Amino acid sequence: EVQLVESGGGLVQPGGSLRLSCASSGFTFSSYAMNWVRQAPGKGLEWVSAVSGNGDRTFYADSVKGRFTISRDNSKNTLYLQLNSLRADDTALYYCAKAGPRSYGELDYWGQGTLVTVSS
Amino acid sequence: QSVLTQPPSASGTPGQRVTISCSGSRSNIGSNTVNWYQQLPGTAPKLLIYSNNQRPSGVPDRFSGSKSGTSASLAISGLQSEDEADYYCSAWDDSLNGRVFGGGTKLTVL
């Protein structure tokens, strides 16, 4: 059974940093691209970032480019998102999502999310 | 403003058929496959339709997807109360080099 468990969220001041983690199990982690998708309170889904299976390719939404960094440790089956220079509009529930066989296709499994709140 | 355009709301009565549209452009829907996600209240999104019209195992055949040109649609037949949820379309965008979502459609079962 595929499981994705996010952690690392919390309350942070504007300009601060956080590191999110997503522990994965139930599939061959290194074979699949992984994504972060966020959802602000009461709003829709917003794709944040993606990383290829071996970590050599990364992709970012314009809204986070230069501030967030995605990475993965295939030896630990864990996905990361480093969040720097946080702003109030980064407040959201951050979901980790596994891509299907087509890296640019569907997101077939999602975690339950970790909440990031940016406020002074 | 979302790259993919969906109606903010839709509704129907039990047993009815409803459709939700998703409009994009040549760089996203026009070039790549469309996926649909269902988000029940208070839960994480779940993959509902992939590759335009494929259902993952466990998704009832009441749900179907289609795509034509730069638009796609999700159809739900035999509407049930448990279908009340938010529905999102998504595709890869070759110009943005990233994934894009529609703004979401809130489906109400009357």
- Chain B environment of A33 (Cβ under 8 Å): none
Query: Letter for the amino acid at A40?
Result: A
Please check whether residue A1 touches B, CB under 8 A. no
Instruction: Tell me how close the Cα of B100 comes to any Cα of chain A, in angstroms.
Output: 6
What H or E segment, with its residue span, contains residue A98?
strand A92-99
Tens of pLDDT, residues B96-105: 999 999 999 9
Q: Provide the 3-class DSSP secondary structure of residue A85.
A: coil
Size of interface A-B (CB pairs under 8 A): 66
In this predicted model, what pLDDT tens digit does every residue of B9-49 receive, in sequence order? 999 999 999 999 999 999 999 999 999 999 999 999 999 99
pLDDT band at B106 (very low <50, low <70, confident <90, very high): very high
- CB–CB contact B96 A112 (8 Å): no
The angle formed by the CA atoms of residues B66, B57 and B99, to the nearest 5 degrees, is: 55
pLDDT band at residue A103 using 50, 70 and 90 as cut-offs: confident
How many whole angstroms separate alpha carbon B44 and alpha carbon B96? Answer: 25
Q: Is the pLDDT of residue B82 over 80?
A: yes
Interface test with B, best of A46, A47, A60 (most B CBs within 10 A): A47
Taking every pair of Cα atoms in chain A, the longest distance, rounded to a whole number of angstroms, is 42
Yes or no: say if B79 and B15 are a contact pair by the CB < 8 Å rule. Answer: yes
- Confidence at A74, pLDDT banded by 50, 70, 90: very high
